[in-house]
Structure 1
């Protein structure tokens, strides 16, 4: 990443010098000179270890990864709930004394998915979706707060130390680390409905730097990514001096991406169906809204910080035609900036397989229900 950033700055300087002496007609050309320091990864999140109980994960059989590769995708993100690979009494809330009880047998199951992805030529982004002391989807009791407690930070770094040592010999072209999913600060960190907002930047910086230093001390060349603040959507220029890429989200506006999602809205069934493009809730919803939303992320690119969209897509209650029109605008904008994407799940309510949408004519694909229109859209950018 440091090397990439140096090359970016060098090239930018040379280009600027050239433009300064160029004819006015050349300087007036609308040319996007920004390059993304991260690869153009496109693919899916795999939720095999998303549940704190490993056996309850949404397992993806081997053929799913083969299909991804055959369809032209090159990336999988694996969000992991850290209790899924620990050995402790699951009838009780996890204790501080439990968080280092690594279960080798469970970790080997994660190894198997990583190896399978690599056999299919897919880059793997390993993410702690629930980390010691924090998860955006609270609803459990953590023994401490990642953003405030040193003991939690020590445990967080210890987990990344374990993963770094385990995968030390895997090239960064094949494996990157995604530190912690969607940082957020709640008044009650154990209640997912508790009000809150972005993590104070000084706390996020301290946590990210400590974990980064832990990883780099073992694997100096490892690509490491930090999620946007405030639940993933807020770019963090304050982290730009660290050797980190940043991960945005493709969920804007949430009135489309999370339409009638029960974990977001208290009375989801009362919501009117969204419109795209057009007037909705007193505002015009269209391509300009997307461009405005991602402007801070483009500024990161201009600073030489690599950007990837780690999660995106829409819940199955969004009218399909509206979803496809909106998402094509999102993907087209990301593609213009060479920002890759990870759809939130391959098979399931956000996926291209078995989404449970009621307004889709599914194609039978080896016994799976394939949303061919959605796949065709994604393959335009794969």
Structure 2
């Protein structure tokens, strides 16, 4: 029996036998992931704070292809200003954070409805929340982790979405609170020093948002992205019935090779290899296993885990990308952890990634990375 099948079967056996926390903590017993192993993609329709700069809406054909290829999950990262009625020539004020634009909300609802039509579980995520985003480029009037006013607005937005989708079953829709949290000193400076959010602060914010959501639907699945830009488990919320989301970008020298938003100097980077020596480090599957072990431990403690984002920018050599990503997906899949590739169509995607070293297959006018698709489908 292959390693993945053995571990999955062991986890199902442990869950079926009703083993308690003491037995589950044993190194020889594995628990099944509390979350389904959803597999799919991120869709960036509402990623920009400015609707006029948004991508074209995801066409229905894309959902049909996802379904036909065996995928069942889409994550929708949303910038909250995208659905506000505000003057975008001025800095937003705290009062304007509450000005919902119903026409924009209807567009988000339309995407969710279409995804459900093709059997997709939808995870709505605030990629930009009031007072925080991993990316700068939009003025924030306060700090989500420090200011109660920002936290109140955060809860308002999640309560709004919870009411809007109150009647949608938990199996079809989940809420991912805020993308890749970190404690940045200046919310409006991309390169401002940052660190992990203090655990007690993260707990306070997550607990309040989850309560605002479950006031409308107690069964709603709530997910919190890992601390320190999605990289680390949040032990402080394990008891809150909130799932956690890891990332599939480690190490960044592989996933974000020459990405200008992640590297100050893109012209003097060591050539990526997998496995092999990159700069002063030796990259291997073992380093990935060590990186993901805390997330596997979290599964074995009975907390749901999903990898909400993963993938590789298009400057990494394709063969290196596939070798590395195959290990990432195998480690996650061996423990029943699903994934959402960033993205479906675009520079990280299975379609239209604009890589210079890929022989694309024409797919109804789209450029399909067949090797990446095959890797995703067998994972």
TM-score bin, normalised by smaller chain: over 0.9
- After TM superposition, the structure 1 stretch with the greater mean CA deviation from structure 2, 112-121 or 8-17, is 8-17
Give the CA deviation at 1:33: 2.1
One of 52, 56, 63 as aligned partner of 1:55: 52
Aligned length, in residue pairs: 365
- Which string of whole-angstrom CA distances, capped at 9 and with x for unpartnered residues, describes residues 303-346 of structure 1? 11100000000000000000000000000001100100000110
Whole-Å separation in 1 of the counterparts to 2:285 and 2:322: 13
One of 37, 44, 47 as aligned partner of 1:40: 37
Counterpart of 2:89 in structure 1 is 91
Aligned 8 A contact 2:21 2:301 in 1? no
Counterpart of 1:23 in structure 2 is none
Give the CA deviation at 1:284: 2.0
Secondary structure of 1:12's aligned partner: coil
Whole-Å separation in 1 of the counterparts to 2:341 and 2:21: 36
Give the CA deviation at 1:78: 0.1
Secondary structure of 1:231's aligned partner: helix
One of 277, 280, 299 as aligned partner of 2:278: 280
Aligned 8 A contact 1:186 1:197 in 2? yes
One of 173, 191, 196 as aligned partner of 1:175: 173
One of 100, 103, 122 as aligned partner of 2:101: 103
One of 110, 113, 135 as aligned partner of 2:133: 135
Question: Any stretches of 5+ residues in structure 1 without a counterpart?
Answer: 1-6, 18-26
Report the aligned-residue RMSD. 1.9
Counterpart of 2:220 in structure 1 is 222
Secondary structure of 2:61's aligned partner: helix
The reply on whether 1:344 has 2:345 as its aligned counterpart is no
Aligned 8 A contact 1:48 1:54 in 2? no
The reply on whether 1:326 has 2:333 as its aligned counterpart is no
Give the CA deviation at 1:237: 1.2
The within-5 A match list for 1:1-382 is 11-13=18-20, 16=23, 33-59=30-56, 60-381=58-379
Aligned 8 A contact 2:270 2:279 in 1? no
Give the CA deviation at 1:13: 2.6
Whole-Å separation in 2 of the counterparts to 1:241 and 1:54: 38
Question: Any stretches of 5+ residues in structure 2 without a counterpart?
Answer: 1-13
Q: TM-score, normalised to structure 2's length? A: 0.93
- Which string of whole-angstrom CA distances, capped at 9 and with x for unpartnered residues, describes residues 92-148 of structure 1? 111101011001111000000000000000000000000011111023221111111
